Structure formats: C-alpha cells, structure tokens
Amino acid sequence: MTKTQPFLPRRGDNLLIDSHQVHVLEAGKPDGANVVMLHGCGSLAEEVVMPFETTDFRIIAPDRPGYGYSSPLGAGERGPIGQSHWLERLLDHMGISNTLLVAHSIGSATALHLASRRPDLIRGMLLLSPCCRPVPFKPFLVLRAAVAPMLGAVVREQVIGRWPAFFLDKGLRSSSFPNTLPVHLERLPADHVVSPAAIQTMANELRAFNRDMQVLPDLPAQMELSVLFGTKDRVIQPQWHIGYLQLKHPTVAVELLDGVGHLPHHVATELARQMLDDLAHKTSGGPKDVRQLQVA
C-alpha cells in the first residue's frame, strides 16, 4: 500500500478568529435555516456534511480545532469546554444565533457545553452517536504510541504517516461495523484525515474529555434535544451515554437503530435527515420514549 491516494480535501472558507484559523464548509441552500455541524474524533467537516448535502438547510460545518485546515487551540483549551468557547466565537464571528446544532460522537461534548452555557445560541440539537459521559479507561495502544515521548514522532511520521489510507480504512470500518462501509466514505482524503497533527489532536481531546464532561451542567429543559444511536455501536456503549443525557435533560428524544454501528448518519441517511427536519419544526417538547427501529 502506498502513501499516495487520489482524493483531495474539500476546500471551504478559512476564517481568522482571534489569531486562530477556522476552516468552514457550507452546503445545502444558502438562504435556508442555519444548521451547524460538528464532526467526531479523527474526522473532518467533509465527513459529517456528506449525508446532508442536498437538504433545504444552510449547512455550516467547521473543521474542529486541530483537524483539517483549522489550527489547534492552546494547552488547557483542547477539551469540550475550550472547544465550546471556540464554537461560540465562530458563531459570533459569522453572526449566527438561534441555530440548530448537529454533532457526531465526541463533537457532541462540545455541543452540549455550548448549549448549557449559551442556550440563546442554540434552539435545538441532533446528536449522532453522542460520546458525552465520562468513560472508563481505554488503552488506545496505537494512539498512545503515536503521542509518546520520543517514540511518538517516529510513529506519527514513519508509520501512520506512511500508510494513512490503511489506518483511515481500518478506523472507518471499525466505526461502521457491523454495517458495510458506505462507498462514499472511501472518498475521504486519507493524508488529510490521518495527518500527524490530527493524531496529536485526537490524543489531546481524549485526555481532556473525562475532566470536562464531569462538570457538564444540566441542559435547559425547553431546548429540543434529539439523539440517534445504533444498538450495535462498538466504539461507545449507547446506553451508557443515553442514560447520562437523560439525567441532564428531562425530555431527550432517542431513536435506537437495531443492527447499526457508530455511523448512523451514513447508514440510515434518510432517517437522520428526517430527524433534522422534525427537529426544525418542533416548537415544544414533552417526555419522549426511547424507540428501537429496524434498518431494512
């Protein structure tokens, strides 16, 4: 397997906000209602936008700090709390408020902290396989080796850096399991997704995750919150995180997809889009049931 692969990163706008570069992609209709999207760990705006390209919303998706073309945050700001302040500055810079917010996996942690602090900015959230509750220790052997003193630079540059397509494919197939990897995800630019800088960013945000999520306040009861999870997610445990969200928000609406892994927005695209449409039209909330659905 060679380092060369044919797909180039999708380019959007580079914004300069408080000396930080923020790369932002837009999709959908420019005059549609705003929807801000956050990707997960080790991904890009390009990935999370794919299932929503042709909606009637104006989709705004930044590369989170340290991923893609966005510059990293300083030490002490790299966890969900610091990233929520980063997102607040981005929304202010773009003149966006009262927006819908869609987030995948660990990107949900940033979304939740912003929603708890600034509910005036967010009118509703759709969380896709949200990683939000402090989690037990996991070894992450390859990632730990990639950021270890002295050894880390060698692993990032000479191992992962030489075979990014292999490591990206392995990560995507693990996330998609037990579902077949959607063909469109094979278009992601491996050199860009699995860059040495992105590997360092992954380690930094995972280190800060538990600390920041231990202090998440309760969410405003009036905020609409929808969650889409696959029952066969082996990246994170659905019930562990659903239970946490139900403690933080009294009326969270949960859809459980039977037989689906960590990428429900790619495997069940029509349902994810319908949930976003439904969220946009909700004006009030009440107690919601957890529904388990079958994927044809």
136 band by pLDDT with thresholds 50, 70 and 90? confident
* Per-residue CA distances from 31 to 26, 34, 55 (Å): 12, 9, 12
Question: Domains in the chain: how many in total?
Answer: 1
* Per-residue CA distances from 84 to 55, 89, 208 (Å): 26, 9, 13
Q: Are 58 and 34 in contact (CB under 8 A)?
A: yes
CATH code, domain carrying 140:
3.40.50.1820
Q: Say if 195 falls within a structural domain.
A: yes
Give the pLDDT confidence of 166-180 residue by residue, as tens digits.
999 999 999 999 999
Put simply, whether the predicted model's pTM sits higher than 0.85 gets the answer yes
Does position 92 have pLDDT exceeding 60, yes or no? yes
Does position 292 have pLDDT exceeding 70, yes or no? no
Q: Say if 3 falls within a structural domain.
A: no
Return the percentage of the chain with pLDDT > 90, whole number. 81
Strand 253-258, strand 290-294: pairing: parallel
Q: What is the domain extent for residue 62?
A: 13-294
Q: Say if 5 falls within a structural domain.
A: no
Q: Say if 1 falls within a structural domain.
A: no
Cα(172)–Cα(191) distance, rounded to whole angstroms?
14
Q: Say if 170 falls within a structural domain.
A: yes
Helix-strand-coil split of the chain, %, nearest 5? 40, 20, 40
